[in-house]
């Protein structure tokens, strides 16, 4: 079965409208295409910092070699570019690890209140840089789910890091944890939010709602793809809600058994 696009269109003003018939590509073709896109994306993402590094090496060999202030500045930029590549490779490894697992073995009983308290503590320096305050009160009764503690830590680290990065500077990041029929963690910020057109594709690898801001903030475009995979492996659900101008709310629901 091949991909087939068929379109017939009558000139404006005549009766009838646009007819489009689409037969889906086979799953194998889709997988091959996705793999091709992924390799192209990774190459592009790696090439950008690499090109910058090569350019600065040339500059350091040339005129800047006799100017200590310029040399320091260029070395600082080169460090940032190398860090960007490092983050990308780290996220690629995380993604490949979680993608290769069919289902998580619930090896730990994860106390989500304690985990979130830990994650918020680790992210305190990043929040301080943007003068962001946290609002989180662990529940009186522990909310514990079966899962992989390291992977769940990564889920909440990615979501809270995004809330700090994309929320408003000087703003508030609110984390709530409840446990009724399932455990629910939500992370909300009061930033510019996300245009609804982006919501369905937000967890695709390398998909960015605001490319400029993501790159400026050192984003890899893989954070939410990793979150989605880990949540799926835990048989959980991820929900994103946002009204532009009002911030964004990411909710993770995890089963107790
Ligand atoms: P990145 O490394 O670019 O942050 P993610 O996969 O974590 O990649 O997020 C994908 C995109 O979703 C981001 O580039 C950003 O445009 C958007 N996004 C994620 N979280 C938020 C948020 N809290 N507020 C606004 N936009 C967000």
Per residue in 139-193, pLDDT tens?
A: 999 999 999 999 999 999 999 999 999 998 889 999 999 999 999 999 999 999 9
Burial 131-152 (b: 16+ CB within 10 A, else e): ebebebebeeeebbbbbbeebb
| Best residue among 95, 154, 159, 214 to mutate for probing ligand 1, ranked by most atoms within 8 Å of CB | 214
Which of 98, 83, 80, 252 is CA-nearest to residue 178? 252
Contact 74, 59 (CB under 8 A): yes
For residue 12, is pLDDT > 80?
A: no
ipTM: 0.99
**Distance from the CA of 153 to the center of ligand 1, in angstroms?**
18
- The DSSP string of 190-224 is -SS---GGGGGGTTSTT--SSHHHHHHTT--S-HH
Contact 165, 159 (CB under 8 A): no
64-75 average pLDDT score? 88
Which of 228, 211, 160 is CA-nearest to residue 45? 211
Q: In a 10 Å sphere around its CB, with 0-12 CB exposed, 13-18 middle and 19+ buried, how is residue 215 labelled?
A: middle
**Distance from the CA of 112 to the center of ligand 1, in angstroms?**
23
| Best residue among 49, 175, 223 to mutate for probing ligand 1, ranked by most atoms within 8 Å of CB | 223
The residue assigned the tokens 């889709």 is 30
Which ligand 1 atom sits nearest the alpha carbon of residue 215? 3
Q: CB within 8 A of 145, min separation 6: which ones?
A: 109, 110, 112, 152, 183, 234, 254, 255, 256
| Best residue among 130, 164, 197, 209 to mutate for probing ligand 1, ranked by most atoms within 8 Å of CB | 209
Q: Which amino acids bring their CB within 6 angstroms of ligand 1? A: 158, 162-163, 166, 189, 191, 194, 202, 208-210, 214, 219-225, 248
Which ligand 1 atom sits nearest the alpha carbon of residue 187? 23
pLDDT tens column, 198-246: 999 999 999 999 888 888 888 999 999 999 999 999 999 999 999 889 9
pLDDT tens column, 91-123: 999 999 888 876 666 789 999 999 999 999 999
Closest C-alpha residue for ligand 1 atom 27: 166
pTM for the model: 0.86
C-alpha 54/C-alpha 63 separation (Å) is: 15
Which of 229, 218, 222 is CA-nearest to residue 252? 229
| Cβ neighbour number for residue 230 with a 10 Å cutoff | 27
């Amino acid at each position: 079965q091949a991909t087939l696009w068929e379109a017939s269109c009558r000139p404006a003003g005549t009766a009838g409208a646009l007819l489009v018939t689409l037969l889906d590509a086979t799953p194998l073709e889709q997988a091959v295409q996705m793999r091709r896109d992924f390799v192209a994306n990774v190459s592009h993402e790696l090439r950008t910092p690499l090109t910058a590094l090569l350019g600065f090496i040339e500059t350091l060999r040339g005129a800047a070699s006799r100017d200590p202030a310029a040399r320091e500045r260029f070395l600082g930029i080169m460090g940032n570019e190398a860090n960007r590549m490092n983050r990308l490779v780290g996220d690629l490894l995380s993604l490949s690890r979680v993608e290769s697992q069919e289902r998580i073995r619930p090896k730990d009983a994860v106390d989500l209140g304690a985990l979130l308290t830990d994650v918020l503590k680790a992210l305190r320096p990043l929040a301080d840089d943007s003068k962001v305050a946290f609002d989180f009160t662990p529940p009186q009764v522990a909310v514990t789910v079966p899962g992989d503690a390291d992977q769940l830590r990564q889920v909440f680290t990615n979501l809270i890091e995004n809330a700090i990065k994309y929320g408003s500077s000087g703003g508030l990041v609110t984390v709530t944890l409840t446990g009724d029929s399932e455990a629910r963690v939500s992370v909300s910020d009061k930033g510019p939010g996300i245009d609804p057109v982006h919501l369905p594709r937000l967890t695709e690898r390398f998909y960015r709602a605001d490319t400029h801001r993501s790159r400026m903030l050192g984003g890899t475009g893989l954070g939410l793809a990793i979150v989605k995979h880990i949540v799926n492996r835990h048989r959980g659900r991820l929900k994103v809600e946002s009204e532009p101008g009002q911030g964004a709310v990411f909710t993770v629901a995890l089963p107790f058994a």
